[in-house]
Amino acid sequence: MYDFKFDIDRYVYMGVGSWLYALLNKQGLWALAEYRFSRWVLTEVRIPLVGKFLKLIGLLWHKLVEITTGIDLPKHSKIGKGLYIGHFGGIIVSPAVEIGEYCNLSHDVTIGVGGRGEKSGVPKIGNRVFIGPGARIFGAIQIGDDVAIGANAVVTKDIPDRAVVVGIPAQIVNFNGSAEYVNYRDRPTDATSNRSEHTTVSTIDNGKL
C-alpha cells in the first residue's frame, strides 16, 4: 500500500488536480487502489482467517473495477511505484508480468503471454517506460529502462535501454528514450540526459512516436 501514495502523486504532478479529485475521478487510480490493496493482502497479511476475508473483498473489488474501468491489474503481477494510467479502458496485464517504477500505461494496452515451449513467458518491463495506446507486448522478453513504445506497436523481442520503438513488428527508430513522456516529481529536468548523442529528437504526432 506504501507505493500507492507515489501513484497518486504522479496524477497530482501531471496537473489533474488535488489528490482527492484524482482519486474520485481517475479510473486508473481506482484500478491501482484495488491492485495495491490486493497485492498487500497477498504478500503481507499472515493471519489465515483475516487473509481469506480480505482476499474475498479484493476479489469482489477487482471484478467491480474490471467491469467499470476495463482495466485488469492482477495481484500476482509485480508493479513498481508511481504507475500512471492516463486513460481508462482495454488495459490487460498478465498475472506474471513485472513492471518497473514510474511507468506509463496508455489505453488499449495488452501485456501478456507469448511464445511456445521453453520460450513461452511474459514480459519484464523496466523503469520509466512509456507504453503508447494500442500497444501489444508479448512473450518472455526484457524491456529496458527509459524505453518509449509507440502507438499500436507490437513488441515480441527484447528492447534495450532508451530505445524508441514503433510499428508491427516493433522496430527501433532512435535512442531518444522516454524522458519527454514520463514525468514525475523530483525527476531530473534535463530530458537530454536520457538520449543518445547520435540520435534525433522524437515527437508524438498523430499517435506515433
One pLDDT digit (tens) per residue for the chain, 209 residues: 789 999 999 999 998 889 999 999 999 999 999 999 999 999 999 999 999 999 999 999 999 999 999 999 999 999 999 999 988 889 999 999 999 999 999 999 999 999 888 779 999 999 999 999 999 999 999 999 999 999 999 999 999 999 999 999 999 999 999 999 999 998 876 544 444 433 333 333 334 45
Asked whether residue 84 is domain-assigned, the answer is no
Q: Check whether residue 129 and residue 187 sit in a common domain.
A: yes
Asked whether residue 129 is domain-assigned, the answer is yes
Q: At residue 181, what is the residue type?
A: Y
Enclosing domain of residue 3:
1-75
Q: Check whether residue 94 and residue 70 sit in a common domain.
A: no
Asked whether residue 80 is domain-assigned, the answer is no
Asked if 141 and 156 touch (Cβ cutoff 8 Å), the reply is yes
pLDDT of residue 190: 54
Q: What is the distance between the alpha carbons of residues 152 and 8, in angstroms, rounded to a whole number? A: 27
For 76, the grid coordinates are 500476482
Q: How many CB atoms lie within 10 A of CB 83?
A: 25
Asked whether residue 168 is domain-assigned, the answer is yes
pTM for this predicted structure: 0.86
Provide the domain count of the chain. Answer: 2
Asked if 85 and 70 touch (Cβ cutoff 8 Å), the reply is no
pLDDT of residue 195: 46
> What CATH number did the domain enclosing 180 receive?
2.160.10.10
Asked whether residue 40 is domain-assigned, the answer is yes
Q: Check whether residue 101 and residue 68 sit in a common domain.
A: no
Q: 192: closest CA among 205, 208, 175, 179?
A: 179
Asked if 71 and 64 touch (Cβ cutoff 8 Å), the reply is no
Q: Check whether residue 156 and residue 190 sit in a common domain.
A: yes
Question: Hey, what's the torsion of the CAs at 36, 42, 43, 44, to 10 degrees?
Answer: 90
Q: Check whether residue 17 and residue 45 sit in a common domain.
A: yes
